[in-house]
Amino acid sequence: QLIILDFGSQYTQLIARRIRELHVFCEIHPYTHAPQLAERLRAGDDSLRGVILSGSPCSVREADAPNPDLGGILGRVPVLGICYGAQLLAHQAGGEVLPATIREYGRARLSSLDGESPLLAGLHQDTQVWMSHGDTIKTLPADYEVIASTPEVAVAAYKLPGQPTYGIQFHPEVTHSTEGKQLLENFVVGICGCAQSWTPDHFVDSMVEALQNTIGPDDQVILGLSGGVDSSVAALLLHRAIGPRLHGIFVDNGLLRQNEFAQVLQAYEGLGLNVTGVQAAPEFYAALAGLSDPEAKRKAIGRTFIEVFDREAQKVQGARWLAQGTIYPDVIESVSVKGPAVTIKSHHNVGGLPEKMNLKIVEPLRMLFKDEVREVGAALGLPEVILHRHPFPGPGLGIRILGDITPEKVDLLQRADGVFISLLKERGLYDTTWQAGAILLPVQSVGVMGDERTYERVVALRAVTSVDGMTADWAHLPYDFLAEVSNKIINQVRGINRVVYDISSKPPATIEWE
């Protein structure tokens, strides 16, 4: 196992991704865990094979910059400092780190490569690397050895004497560093000796075994299923571990897509899962009646969900566990070195239920990134309709009907959205789009159909490309395609006479309209 100590860089998760792509398991810990790692090493824990120190928005010259004691780690396992990590190692040993006088940002070429260095094995002279830093290492402690430079950066990579500790100024994890993956492989596999055994099948086998060891032989487990990838993969893992002692609960909140409830329930049943479908639309509509404020709607939906879920869960005799589809990005203790992270929207979950029912939490996916969840899902035979389903918000169409919600509006939006999504699929555009849907606007506009004037609703189409939903670009769907969707919606969905396309990116807009 490899551990990345995070100093708050925007690239930390990317380092972890790259290492996992090498089929090596790694975890991200906040830099404040340095003493714990030192303690593990002191106690002789040989499962920890190496440590990477991430970059940071801070400068080692700032008095309050992160500055953990690395004494118990250095020399005991291989260490690689990247950017801030490299500056910190140099700074702590008496080297000089100064603001860079020229801009050290963007592409650069590594020259004077030390061909003997195991860190740089297989890299070519003048290989392109990505620099992004405001500080630079001016002088290294006397016995440190420079192993690569660029025309502007004398100390681009260095090694400590007598131990496998390295520092590099550039970012091997970004794709602009064309041989960065080779460098990471040299470190992780060559220098640290980590086994490349982290594969979906390996994960499934070891997680199933771990679940069988954790969950008692008579314990029943409850899981809320949403039709999304995460909860579905969590269900399959648990099903493989404990069979029908997993009780899935899938709630129709009346805010799902057209036909989704039946379709997904059928898929779950086809997989042999023990799932109860609960039709609770009227309860949700009642709770939402008259509410227009997005946060108030989210709260009403969240609260009703807990009520319905709780009621169903109480019916399961011997329930001891609540399983959740939490994934790694939700788990990582984010290091905020520059002020606290802000919650922009409240996302609902089954908060409060575990305490109330005295349930323990089990989260089989908490170590996986989203695309790893998909790989595991594929290894478990999850059908395509669920595996490659677009993300869909918990409050569903409730936040895609702007203003108050009525069953009639839901029906209108489901039909318009249904046309959009099925045409995306038919025209082969669904999988290249990260997320798409229709939004019912709270305005009516004039139109003419035949000899008659109409005064009907407007639907906005939203489609984005994105990697993780944190940033997104509006999808550049072909005009002909948009024309086809618009015609079909206006012709088939009575009550809609105008369709518009949202061409805003995130930021500054968001993916959802509420």
- Give me 401's structure tokens: 């009907």
Residue closer to ligand XMP (CB basis): 294 or 418: 294
Cβ pair 386, 377 in contact under 8 A: yes
Q: Would you say 346 is a known binding-site residue?
A: no
The answer to whether residue 512 forms part of the interface with ligand XMP (CB under 6 A) is yes
Quote the least distance from Cβ 308 to ligand XMP, whole Å: 16
- Give me 446's structure tokens: 């004039």
What is the distance of C-alpha 223 from the center of its chain? 21
Quote the least distance from Cβ 49 to ligand XMP, whole Å: 35
| Separation between Cα atoms, residue 415 and residue 248, nearest integer Å | 28
- Between 336 and 365, how does the x/- string for binding to ligand XMP read (CB under 6 A)? ---------x-x------------------
The answer to whether residue 398 forms part of the interface with ligand XMP (CB under 6 A) is no
Q: Would you say 228 is a known binding-site residue?
A: yes
The answer to whether residue 277 forms part of the interface with ligand XMP (CB under 6 A) is no
Phi, psi of 450, deg, nearest 5: 65, -130
Quote the least distance from Cβ 29 to ligand XMP, whole Å: 26
Got the DSSP string for 209-226? HHHHHHS-TT-EEEEEE-
Residue closer to ligand XMP (CB basis): 18 or 297: 297
Question: Is 173 tagged catalytic?
Answer: yes
Question: Is 62 tagged catalytic?
Answer: no
Q: Could you say which of 91, 133, 171, 348 is catalytic?
A: 171
The answer to whether residue 510 forms part of the interface with ligand XMP (CB under 6 A) is yes
Quote the least distance from Cβ 363 to ligand XMP, whole Å: 16
The answer to whether residue 395 forms part of the interface with ligand XMP (CB under 6 A) is yes
Q: Tell me how crowded residue 255 is: count the other CB atoms within 10 A of its CB.
A: 26
Could you identify the residue written with the tokens 């991200």? 28
Question: Is 247 tagged catalytic?
Answer: no
- Between 463 and 482, how does the x/- string for binding to ligand XMP read (CB under 6 A)? ------x-------------
- Between 248 and 267, how does the x/- string for binding to ligand XMP read (CB under 6 A)? --------------------
Q: How many residues contact ligand XMP, by CB under 6 A?
A: 13
The answer to whether residue 374 forms part of the interface with ligand XMP (CB under 6 A) is no
| Separation between Cα atoms, residue 300 and residue 291, nearest integer Å | 9
The answer to whether residue 138 forms part of the interface with ligand XMP (CB under 6 A) is no
The answer to whether residue 506 forms part of the interface with ligand XMP (CB under 6 A) is yes
Nearest C-alpha neighbor of 344 from the set 401, 290, 298, 287: 298
Quote the least distance from Cβ 377 to ligand XMP, whole Å: 18
Nearest C-alpha neighbor of 210 from the set 366, 339, 375, 414: 366
| Separation between Cα atoms, residue 367 and residue 470, nearest integer Å | 19
235 SS3 class: helix
Quote the least distance from Cβ 395 to ligand XMP, whole Å: 5
Q: Would you say 226 is a known binding-site residue?
A: yes
Q: Would you say 468 is a known binding-site residue?
A: no
| Separation between Cα atoms, residue 337 and residue 341, nearest integer Å | 10
The answer to whether residue 330 forms part of the interface with ligand XMP (CB under 6 A) is no
Cβ pair 47, 1 in contact under 8 A: yes
Q: Applying CB under 6 A, which part among 10-18, 252-260, 318-326, 504-512 lies near ligand XMP? A: 504-512
Contacts of 446 (CB under 8 A, 6+ apart): 453, 454, 455
Residue 131's H or E segment, with its range, is strand 127-139
Residue 404 burial (10 A CB sphere; 0-12, 13-18, 19+): middle
Q: Could you say which of 26, 83, 192, 194 is catalytic?
A: 83
Residue closer to ligand XMP (CB basis): 17 or 299: 299
Nearest C-alpha neighbor of 439 from the set 396, 389, 491: 396
Quick one: which of 57, 141, 391, 495 contacts ligand XMP (CB under 6 A)?
391
Q: Would you say 334 is a known binding-site residue?
A: no
The answer to whether residue 393 forms part of the interface with ligand XMP (CB under 6 A) is yes
Radius of gyration of the chain (CA): 27
Q: Would you say 466 is a known binding-site residue?
A: no
Quick one: which of 117, 231, 274, 435 contacts ligand XMP (CB under 6 A)?
435
Quote the least distance from Cβ 390 to ligand XMP, whole Å: 8
Positive or negative: CA dihedral 5, 9, 14, 18: negative
The answer to whether residue 66 forms part of the interface with ligand XMP (CB under 6 A) is no
Residue 437's H or E segment, with its range, is strand 435-449
Residue 514 one-letter amino acid? E
Q: Could you say which of 173, 179, 456, 514 is catalytic?
A: 173
Contacts of 210 (CB under 8 A, 6+ apart): none
- As annotated, the binding site includes 226-232
- As annotated, the binding site for ATP includes 226-232
Residue numbers annotated as active site: 83, 171, 173
For binding to ligand XMP (CB under 6 A), which residues are involved?
298, 345, 347, 391, 393-395, 435, 469, 506, 510-512
